Amino acid sequence: MSSSSNNPQTLKWQAMSRDHHLAPFTDYQQLSDKGPRIIVRADGVYLWDSEGEKILDGMAGLWCVAIGYGRDELADAASKQMKELPFYNTFFNTAHPPVLELAKTIAELTPEGMNHVFFTGSGSEGNDTMLRMVRHYWAIKGQPDKKVIISRINGYHGSTFAGSSLGGMQGMHDQGGVVPGIVHIPQPYWFGEGGDKTPEAFGIWAAEQLEAKILEVGEANVAAFIAEPIQGAGGVIIPPDSYWPKIREILAKYDILFVADEVICGFGRTGEWFGSDYYGNQPDLMTIAKGLTSGYIPMGGLIVSDKVFDVLKTGGDFNHGFTYSGHPVAAAVALENIRILRDEKIIERVREETAPYLQKRLRELADHPLVGEVRGVGMLGAIELVQNKQSRERYVGKGAGMICRGHCFANGLIMRAVGDTMIIAPPLVISKTEIDELIDKARLCLDLTLQDLQK
């Protein structure tokens, strides 16, 4: 691995990392001791590091590279736009063609009635925008007390102050505190927290926590409920089938807004354009980023329903925006990315062909002695590592997930570990042969992990 490299160029880069670079979500002492792996190029579903190792990227970068690496069309779209109009803002009653084309194109893809887009530079900024917009919405409607946002423990909504507060990660809340007026309810994570309940019963219980929280806070004080259709960073948590129908039933009873954080599920990951389409949910707002540009350039946004927009329109200035809201180069890249998703029928192929194949092959790993559950939807998957398959008991204090991740790293596969849950989210363009390679490597790494745990 790169940490024991003798390659002078790798060592030079690792020294730069140690001396100057502050990486996200990183223990700086640990990183400078070990040195990062340096990724130098990519093509299709593969990465190459500075040691010349080829790696199958089972995480699509960071859930984002939907159309795969190496698509010149996106580079050409960026180059063309940079030469024509590299930047202009969309403040003060101005606009430019790419941002307008993109807003219209997104509205064509979204569920019924979701027709307006506020652009940002990232998913986190999309959620910050959401927080300010929904509070503003209720104030315009003469209900300024409706401020509280209900979110979920172990949800992920980004890393800005509002994003990390909306998210339910204790480790993030502990550093810098949280925005007032955000409360959290349990997640629908049956494997980890379902106890003796059936998945069905647990899903109902988890959904009922939303109603209990609305009643506790008071409907008159609740602005919105935010949730990922499928929790990504929390460990690819697929809710039991009973969960979303029960949530919809509860949302219908109370006058609060529903926000779907589609940053991971959006743009095809479930085999539908949006996770909300997959589950038949009808959000009032949707946060997007990641797959919007396949990660080739940063861009996020907040999609707003007619219902919310009609109120905003009566509220005077919305005093909010980013220098790079609707950046023309990012918009041109997003348009080209969406064109490719559409013209090459990538999402249809995921739904009809490659996702069913991935899910079938993934489930074959359930027979492995280390595996307690395999679950997945579309191009998302999770493998739970356990000591006891029946009781779902973990290997306590062994760091099974990190051991497994290390073996994956050393054997040319990127899989991420969330505690002892191994997760994958490969590029949507992954082929059946590449899926076979992913599964073979995953099984090898499970074997190696089990050997280590039994030592």
Ligand X SMILES: *Cc1c(COP(=O)(O)O)cnc(C)c1O
CA angle 406, 410, 412 (to 5 degrees): 115
Binding mask of the shown chain, residues 44 to 63, with x at each position contacting ligand X by CB under 6 A: -------------------x
Residue among 161, 288, 148, 298 nearest 229 (CA): 288
- Based on the shown chain and the rule CB under 6 A, indicate whether residue 300 belongs to the binding site for ligand X: yes
Q: Please select the residue that binds ligand X; options are 2, 90, 122, 151, rule is CB under 6 A.
A: 122
Q: At 59, give phi and psi (nearest 5°).
A: -120, 10
Identify which range of 52-60, 256-264, 269-277, 328-336 contacts ligand X by CB under 6 A: 256-264
- Based on the shown chain and the rule CB under 6 A, indicate whether residue 124 belongs to the binding site for ligand X: yes
**Least Å distance between CB 64 and ligand X?**
8
- Based on the shown chain and the rule CB under 6 A, indicate whether residue 267 belongs to the binding site for ligand X: no
Task: Supply the Cα-derived Rg of the chain in whole angstroms.
Answer: 22
- Based on the shown chain and the rule CB under 6 A, indicate whether residue 289 belongs to the binding site for ligand X: yes
Please write down the HEC assignment for all residues of 368-421. CCCEEEEEEECCEEEEEECCECCCCECCCCCCHHHHHHHHHHHCCEECEEECCE
Angle of helix 328-343 relative to helix 97-109, nearest 10 degrees?
A: 40
Q: Please select the residue that binds ligand X; options are 203, 232, 266, 376, rule is CB under 6 A.
A: 232
**Least Å distance between CB 131 and ligand X?**
13
Q: Please select the residue that binds ligand X; options are 58, 68, 123, 271, rule is CB under 6 A.
A: 123
- Based on the shown chain and the rule CB under 6 A, indicate whether residue 260 belongs to the binding site for ligand X: no
**Least Å distance between CB 376 and ligand X?**
16
Residue nearest to ligand X (CB): 123
Identify which range of 70-78, 118-126, 375-383, 401-409 contacts ligand X by CB under 6 A: 118-126
- Based on the shown chain and the rule CB under 6 A, indicate whether residue 36 belongs to the binding site for ligand X: no
**Least Å distance between CB 298 and ligand X?**
7
Q: Please select the residue that binds ligand X; options are 57, 128, 228, 272, rule is CB under 6 A.
A: 228
- Based on the shown chain and the rule CB under 6 A, indicate whether residue 233 belongs to the binding site for ligand X: yes
User: Do 278 and 270 touch, CB atoms closer than 8 A?
Assistant: yes
* Bridge partner residues of 422 (DSSP): 383, 417
* Number of residues engaging ligand X in binding (CB under 6 A): 15
User: Do 202 and 243 touch, CB atoms closer than 8 A?
Assistant: no
Angle of helix 400-410 relative to helix 432-454, nearest 10 degrees?
A: 130
Measured between alpha carbons, how far is 358 from 418 in angstroms, rounded to an integer?
A: 20
- Based on the shown chain and the rule CB under 6 A, indicate whether residue 264 belongs to the binding site for ligand X: yes
- Helix, strand, coil shares of the chain, percent, nearest 5, are 45, 15, 40
- Based on the shown chain and the rule CB under 6 A, indicate whether residue 263 belongs to the binding site for ligand X: yes
Burial 303-325 (b: 16+ CB within 10 A, else e): bbbeebeeebeeeeeeeebbebb
- Based on the shown chain and the rule CB under 6 A, indicate whether residue 106 belongs to the binding site for ligand X: no
| Count of beta carbons in the 10 Å neighbourhood of residue 70 | 14
- Based on the shown chain and the rule CB under 6 A, indicate whether residue 67 belongs to the binding site for ligand X: no
Q: Which is nearer to ligand X, 224 or 400 (CB)?
A: 224
Restricted to residues 134-173, the positions that interact with ligand X (CB under 6 A) are 156-158
User: Do 157 and 191 touch, CB atoms closer than 8 A?
Assistant: no
Task: State the residues that interact with ligand X by CB under 6 A.
Answer: 63, 122-124, 156-158, 228, 232-233, 261, 263-264, 289, 300
